[in-house]
A = this chain, B = another copy of it.
Amino acid sequence: MVTTELAELGPLPATWTRRHLLGLEELAAEEITLILDKADVFKRALEERLTRFPLLSGKTCVNLFFENSTRTRTSFGLAARRLGADVVDFSAATSSLSKGETVIDTAKNIEAMGVDVVVVRHRTPGTPHLLAQNLGCSVINAGDGPHEHPTQGLLDILTIRQRRGCVEGLTVALIGDIAHSRTARSNIWGLKKLGAHVIVCGPSTLVSPRWQELGVEHAYSLDEILPRVDVLNLLRIQFERQYTRPFPSVREYALLYAMNRERLARSKPDILILAPGPINRGVEVTPDVADGPHSAILEQVTNGLAVRMAVLWLLAGTRE
């Protein structure tokens, strides 16, 4: 049996009792660690080119994406298929929303077709929570406006843990568009719970002192904090989520915040560089750094698959 190759995975842990993954804010450190541990097992299995694990055989997983997405939707789809689940894709363009139906009615209709997991992305914060309250199946938040994107946070933290052994005691700086970033929020909640020191850093239009309320340090100058940073997470400039241009020009942004060879020389020698794709080459990071040994950008993609397999299994796996 294929499953014997996953003997390491063990049965569904009794300590995991959640039915939904809505955000990292509500998870305990132990729950985050459990997901990361299971993701590590799936990652190793993927590296050995094992690709089929019939842990969700006969289950159905729906991608309910009200915003366009390439990689997150595909990553969830592949993760579900590799666990043996059926996958159904909805996108805003072909959904019934254009016919005046409410989000809850759309989701309830989908659930009535016998669905086990709904993976939802929506521009309105709280939409996944609304669905979790109204549906009998599991709900995974794949991004709710600028609020949370928990599997992105988890895959970033998994990548840090794999490269550095542990997260506790590290200084992690999130750079750039903090204000509009669900990735920032999910990273902050997860990293803090695991004992990292977090700095949010960017232009004052995108980073305010109020972020200190979340227990993080804030800074405006990348060059000032650079010498004491262990991990840099270069957030994407989310042009599509901004109503006014928050800085004079892309060139000026790159001058102050792009990670390049010169800044790399002034960093700790083992600095780790993350970036949730798609990256704007020359804006958040220069090509030589993006493709260099400090970058873990493509590992993040592979870890995304492993994290999503772990989450899907924990939420929808069958207890013996």
B105 touches A88 (CB 8 A): no
CA distance A229 to B109 in the complex (A): 26
A278 touches B74 (CB 8 A): no
Which residues on the B side are within 8 Å of A88 (C-beta)? 74, 77-78
CA distance A101 to B302 in the complex (A): 18
**Which of B69, B112, B302 interacts with A114 by CB under 8 Å?**
B302
Which residues on the B side are within 8 Å of A58 (C-beta)? 49-52
A100 touches B280 (CB 8 A): yes
Which residues on the B side are within 8 Å of A281 (C-beta)? 102, 105
Is A313 located at the chain interface by the 8 A CB criterion? no
A113 touches B52 (CB 8 A): no
Contact bitstring A72-107, B, C-beta under 8 A = 1, else 0: 011101100110001010110111101111100110
CA distance A243 to B156 in the complex (A): 46
Within A19-66, the residues touching B (CB, 8 Å) are: 46, 49-52, 57-60
Within A257-311, the residues touching B (CB, 8 Å) are: 277-281, 298-299, 301-302, 304-305
What are the 4 A-B residue pairs with the smallest beta carbon separation, nearest first? A101-B278, A112-B301, A51-B58, A96-B278
CA distance A180 to B15 in the complex (A): 55
CA distance A93 to B59 in the complex (A): 29
CA distance A262 to B73 in the complex (A): 45
Is A124 located at the chain interface by the 8 A CB criterion? no
7 contacts between A and B (CB under 8 A): A68-B94, A74-B110, A74-B113, A101-B279, A113-B301, A113-B304, A114-B305
A78 touches B102 (CB 8 A): no
B70 touches A302 (CB 8 A): no
Is A240 located at the chain interface by the 8 A CB criterion? yes
B278 touches A113 (CB 8 A): no
Which residues on the B side are within 8 Å of A51 (C-beta)? 58-60, 114
**Which of B70, B96, B110 interacts with A106 by CB under 8 Å?**
B70
With A78-B113, A113-B305: A277-B105 Cβ-Cβ less than 8 Å: yes
CA distance A297 to B99 in the complex (A): 17
- Shortest A281–chain B CB gap in Å is 7
Is A71 located at the chain interface by the 8 A CB criterion? yes
Is A164 located at the chain interface by the 8 A CB criterion? no
- Shortest A41–chain B CB gap in Å is 15
B298 touches A109 (CB 8 A): yes
Which residues on the B side are within 8 Å of A59 (C-beta)? 51
Is A129 located at the chain interface by the 8 A CB criterion? no
- Shortest A42–chain B CB gap in Å is 11
